[in-house]
Amino acid sequence: MRKKIIITGILVLVLGAGFTTINNRDLEIVKNLDIYCTLFRELNMFYVDETSPEELVTTSINSMLNELDPYTTYIPEKEMDDFNFQTTGEYGGIGSLIRRADDQIIIADPYENFPAAKSGLRAGDVLVEVSGKKTSGMDISEVSELLKGEPGTMLNVKAKRPYTEEVLDVGMKREKIVITNVPYHGMLSDHTGYIRLSNFTTNASAEVRKAFLDLKKNASFNRLVLDLRSNPGGLMIEAVRTCNLFIDKGELIVSTKGKVKKWDSEYKTTEQALDTEIPIVVLVNRGSASASEIVAGAMQDLDRAVVIGQRTFGKGLVQTTRPLKYNAQLKVTTAKYYIPSGRCIQALDYTHRNEDGSVGAVPDSLISEYETRNGRVVYDGGGIRPDIEVVPENLSEITLRLYTENMFFDYATKFRNTKDTIESPAVFNLTDTEYEAFRDFVTDKDFEYETASEKAFSTLVETAKREKYYQLSEEEFAALKEKLSHNNMKDMETFRAEIQQIMEEEIAGRYYYHSGRIRKQIRNDIQLDKALEVISNTIQVQNILNGKEGTLAKHTVAGAH
């Protein structure tokens, strides 16, 4: 009855206005909401089986939002903790990632100096019980909820340690877990400092500031590599503040423009910079998105840094959270962001979908040229294009399969549980004997995989047999099969360099946590090597930023990273 009154009221207003303010949109909203409520009531009353109203509504909401963009999402009350963690990097718990392996829940990555690590739990440990509740048959989200809780509360964990007879029964106190945005910083050479920035949650800029000031304690420090690779972004204001560390007060970093014009905003630097002179290289890749692209793009547009790596993800959309009833939230895309040159870096056009519903990239015909402060040409329509592109080679098929089949993870677990210490990540290397032990480990696990060539050959054989050509060329098919067939042991030797590098990174992480893994990674990193080469040549850096040297020079270099 109330909805009918609303409709009647709208019609009276429309008629009274002499048809000059007809709002078909409002009428459509009321009409379709009425249809939806009626359908939902009938469905719940007469459907043959019992239904869950909450599941039905959540499914319908998510299906509706799927028609928009992937960043406009519904967050029910039970998922608010996870959402808050994504924006703040904080939660109450034991400080560890967990994952499922077959029918077991295992510790995947304990964070250094938090309860899980301090109590002695290691990556690979199998969680048997949490506070007296057996984890067997539990969903991973259920175990996660058991581990989380108010900081200061106690819990007990029983775990089995693989490759040993050890059973751990440990008590620990939950803490406020704050995931660092800067997992590692240090000196790459006598003069070049390095900061890895992994996220833009609360205090990201403060962590960069602290790392930079720490680097400045080195008397010879006079150039910086800021690594934003695989940084998915986060809080836009933290991106602005991070830029402000190296760009002086009063500079426009990013502006937002959307449907609600009163929400359009400009974000400028508000403080004096720490350092406006030091040469900077910003490293990016295809996983650098959102706030990462604001920093890389603003530093490029203002000719403050040379950007090296790969073209970034291309997320130029801004989200705002809107409160809903019953403590739920709607995270909705409300604007696009524009960096100092005026360009938007959004890569996919969700407004104009293809006929099949798929989303296409911004077409070349709509890509526009812009200029940096010094007159260098830059482009919109698809991420930040680096000044110097360095494209690493793809990993081999066997390396990818060893990773997806958890061979690296499982062997690192065995290695850690049978060897107490290793050298520091800066010098640690697997010996020939240890690499052979890994090959034996893989063999014992009956590891097998099929290459892309073998898959294509199998399809060809099926097609030839169906078309009755196979019998006519059976010998040729047999010969080709022999040439295409791979050998695990041979492949592990052929691609040893990249396999061993990833294995060493995984092992380093077991002893020295996330910072150790990074310290091992940067020892063999072709994109970082290029950054060091460029930043060591002050004249080249200035020539690039002043437009005197051709930018977007493409360097395709061999290497796994």
CB 285 within 8 A of CB 533: no
Task: Identify whether 141 is a catalytic site residue.
Answer: no
The span from the CA of 549 to the CA of 554, in Å, is 13
- Say how far apart CA 220 and CA 246 lie, in whole Å: 19
What are the residue ranges of helices labelled H in 47-187?
53-65, 80-88, 115-118, 140-147
Selected catalytic residue, list 125, 301, 303, 380 = 301
How many beta carbons lie within 10 A of that of residue 269, not counting itself? 20
Report how far residue 20's alpha carbon sits from residue 538's, in angstroms, rounded to the nearest whole number.
Answer: 66
Compute the distance between CA of residue 334 and CA of residue 337 in angstroms, rounded to an integer. 10
Rounded-to-integer distance, Cα 213 and Cα 265, Å: 31
Residue 161 vs residues 66, 122, 413, 503, 505: alpha-carbon distances, Å:
42, 8, 9, 20, 21
Residue pair 361/350 in contact by the 8 Å Cβ criterion: no
Tokens of 296: 């890389």
Question: Does residue 387 have an active-site annotation?
Answer: no
Separation of first and last alpha carbons in the chain: 64
Burial of 46 (0-12, 13-18, 19+ CB in 10 A): exposed
Report the SS3 class of residue 481: helix
* d(C-alpha 222, C-alpha 245), whole Å: 15
Cα angle 516, 387, 304 (rounded to 5 degrees) comes to 80
Q: Is 468 helix (H, G, I), strand (E, B) or coil?
A: coil
Strands 133-134 and 126-130: antiparallel
Q: Which of 198, 205, 255, 290 is catalytic?
A: 290
Residue 435: CB atoms within 10 Å: 18
The question of whether 301 is a catalytic residue gets the answer: yes
Choice among 148, 315, 331, 530 that is catalytic: 315
The secondary structure of 1-35 as a DSSP string is -HHHHHHHHHHHHHHHTTTSS--HHHHHHHHHHHH
Bridge pairing between strands 223-227 and 553-557 = unpaired
Closest CA to 557 of 517, 519, 528: 528
Whole-number Å distance between alpha carbons of 162 and 136: 17
SS3 473: helix
Residue with tokens 């065995």: 414
d(CA 502, CA 403): 9
C-alpha dist (Å) from residue 525 to 59, 266, 407, 508: 44, 37, 22, 16
Q: In this structure, which long-range contacts are made by residues 503-506, counting pairs with CB atoms below 8 Å and at least 24 apart in sequence? A: 503/408, 503/411, 503/412, 503/430, 503/435, 503/438, 504/428, 504/429, 504/430, 506/408, 506/409, 506/411, 506/412
- Just list the catalytic residues: 290, 301, 315
